[in-house]
Amino acid sequence: MVNILQWDEFQKAAEELYLLSPTTTRYVAKYRHVEGRLVLKVTDDRTCLKYKTDQMQDLNKFERLNRSLMAKMHNRIPAPVSEAAAATGSGATTAAVAPSSSSSTAPVPAHSTATATISSPSIQQGGGGGKAKKNKRK
């Protein structure tokens, strides 16, 4: 286990580790409120990299690392984010949410068969909560 003290070294090593073995690399972030410490760990079962911090300014760096690793996981190049947008956190939500084009372009049938089966009383559907148990009195 390698504890890295400098953020730039940790970010570079974490991204290189992911690029070497993208299928086995795991990334864990743990925050302990009692200590006020954030621990980041990247491992591929052979190499383990750790970075510990208690500084608030490292949270912006942590968000940038998340965006960078997510972009690599999606095989996309990250959109350029200005430092002002990164400091306010407005770029984090736009980078993480991707629009779903499959649901908006799919045609909606005029008459669905699902409504006919639900409304017919002869078809019994499973699920339901069932009968509630009575409270036992002593």
pTM (global) more than 0.75 = no
CB atoms within 10 A of CB 71: 14
**Quick one: pLDDT band at residue 79, thresholds 50, 70, 90?**
low
Structure confidence at residue 30 (pLDDT):
93
Structure confidence at residue 128 (pLDDT):
63
| Gap between the Cα atoms of 4 and 23, Å rounded | 23
Q: How many CA atoms lie within 13 A of 88 on its CB side?
A: 7
Q: Are 38 and 61 in contact (CB under 8 A)?
A: no
**Quick one: pLDDT band at residue 97, thresholds 50, 70, 90?**
very low
Q: Which two structure tokens, joined as six digits, stand for 122?
A: 């002869």
Domain boundaries, the chain: 2-97
Structure confidence at residue 98 (pLDDT):
43
More confident residue, 88 or 29: 29
**Model pLDDT for residues 102-136, shown as the tens digit of each residue:** 444 555 455 544 444 444 455 656 666 677 777 88
Structure confidence at residue 58 (pLDDT):
87
Structure confidence at residue 17 (pLDDT):
92
Q: How would you write the chain as a 3-class SS string?
A: CEECCCHHHHHHHHHHHHHHCCCCCEEEEEEECCCCEEEEEEECCCCEEEEEECCCCHHHHHHHHHHHHHHHHCCCCCCCCCHHHHHHCHHHHHHHCCCCHHHHHCCCCCCCHHHHHHHCCCCCCCCCCCCCCCCCCC
**Model pLDDT for residues 4-56, shown as the tens digit of each residue:** 999 999 999 999 999 998 889 999 999 989 988 999 999 998 999 999 999 98
Structure confidence at residue 101 (pLDDT):
45
Structure confidence at residue 133 (pLDDT):
75
Per CATH, domain 2-97 is 3.30.720.10: yes
